A and B are shown apart, each in its own frame.
Chain A
Amino acid sequence: MKMPEIVDEHRVHRVCVEGVTVRYVEGRGDIKLTVEGVLPSQTVETIRLDLLAKLQAVENAPIDCIRVTV
């Protein structure tokens, strides 16, 4: 389910998946995907692959996906 965009926030999009907010932040050089909570690994993988496939189609170019851990 798509969530409403926040005023003064640009190029940030949110969807709600099983009660957890999934946030997409568009940058010029990268797109960041953040799952703001805990979801089953399979669900996260589906979300990740969905974005990867769409970006590769839009860009018509290979896309690298980097897992961010701090």
Chain B
Amino acid sequence: MTNPVWTWAVEHRLTAYGLNKAFGGPHSKDAGPCWSFGRYGRTETLLPDGRLIRIGGEYEDWYDPDFYIYNNVIVTDAAGRTEIFGYSDRVFPPTDFHTANLVDDRIIMIGNLSYWFARAEKVQMLMLDTTSYGISRFDTSGEAPPWVFKHSSELVENGRAILVRGGLICGPQWPVTVENIDDWRLDLDTGRWERLTRRPWRRFAFVRADGMPNHLHWLGRLLKDRARAEARTRAVFEPSAFAISVPTRDWICSKRCTRPTYLT
């Protein structure tokens, strides 16, 4: 899939917004998401020969017209040459917030956030061959973690196993995402998952029965603003404060206070 436009975007580290702007392209609302090099949740793996392998990632959030989760691999060699490899969704589903561990000439990709409709019960396991750039499933057995993302994965036991910790987990039917509080070990020789911990922590999620977002963030902001305003009011109108300097309208406005409160 290597082409001059995307290669140029890689070299200039452009986001979808920046790339579209550079070419004066149509609005993404009408034309669909523009390709982006700038992404969140992408992995970068440096190989011993100097190649840098960038895998997947996503740009912006669902509400942005350029939102897109990528299923491509960007390879930049030690000389700075870039190649971009694309795959069918079946071989390499859109993947973000995964981890990548280099094991010999393979990169083991563990986890994925992805689109909500693409999530499965168990962790996504893929493998990238760094000689051919082919991607294949990494079949495992044992007790695998649920659909996990934003976790850490560490090569342990002299490269014979991977330890997965932290991050978030969710399932296709889960109403919320929850923290991964347990540790999981993947034996790379046998492909067998082992759940190392089963922490007996009681956990609950509270959601509005009508499915609406809650008001806690908004209320928190309101209370903070009020507390800040009260503190400023006290500081401004204390006799000692007047003795030093009387605040001007510009000063008051520059503090982003609520003007009606202070000027009346």
Q: Measuring CB to CB, which residues of chain A are less than 8 angstroms from any residue of chain B?
A: 11, 26-39, 44, 48, 51-52, 55, 58-59, 61-70
Chain A proximity of B211: nearest CB distance (Å): 8
Query: Does B182 count as interface, using CB distance less than 8 angstroms?
Result: yes
Whether the Cβ atoms of B178 and A70 lie closer than 8 Å is: yes
Whether the Cβ atoms of B207 and A35 lie closer than 8 Å is: no
Residue of A nearest to B212 (CB): A61
Query: Does B210 count as interface, using CB distance less than 8 angstroms?
Result: yes
Chain A proximity of B116: nearest CB distance (Å): 12
A-B residue pair count with CB separations less than 8 angstroms: 99
Query: Does B255 count as interface, using CB distance less than 8 angstroms?
Result: no
Residue of A nearest to B207 (CB): A30
Whether the Cβ atoms of B176 and A32 lie closer than 8 Å is: yes
Residue of A nearest to B214 (CB): A59
Residues 176-215 of B, flagged 1 when their CB comes within 8 A of A and 0 if not, give 1011111000000000000000001111111111101111
Give the chain A neighbours of B202 by CB distance below 8 A.
34-35, 39, 44, 67
Query: Does B169 count as interface, using CB distance less than 8 angstroms?
Result: yes
- Checking B201, B207, B214 against A34 with a beta-carbon cut-off of 8 angstroms, the contacting residue is B201
Query: Does B175 count as interface, using CB distance less than 8 angstroms?
Result: yes
Q: Measuring CB to CB, which residues of chain B are less than 8 angstroms from any residue of chain A?
A: 146, 169, 175-176, 178-182, 200-210, 212-217, 219-220
Excluding A30-B175, A70-B146, 18 further A-B contacts by CB distance (< 8 Å) are A11-B216, A11-B220, A27-B176, A30-B214, A33-B203, A33-B206, A35-B201, A48-B204, A51-B206, A59-B215, A61-B212, A62-B208, A62-B209, A63-B207, A65-B204, A65-B205, A68-B205, A69-B203
Instruction: Determine the distance from Cα of A31 to Cα of B213 in the docked complex, in whole angstroms.
Output: 10
Chain A proximity of B107: nearest CB distance (Å): 27
Give the chain B neighbours of A33 by CB distance below 8 A.
203-206
Instruction: Determine the distance from Cα of A39 to Cα of B217 in the docked complex, in whole angstroms.
Output: 29
Whether the Cβ atoms of A52 and B205 lie closer than 8 Å is: no
Instruction: Determine the distance from Cα of A26 to Cα of B213 in the docked complex, in whole angstroms.
Output: 11
Chain A to chain B contacts (Cβ below 8 Å), 23 pairs: A11-B216, A11-B217, A11-B220, A26-B217, A26-B220, A30-B175, A30-B206, A30-B207, A32-B204, A33-B206, A34-B179, A35-B201, A39-B202, A58-B215, A59-B208, A62-B208, A63-B209, A65-B205, A66-B204, A69-B203, A70-B178, A70-B181, A70-B182
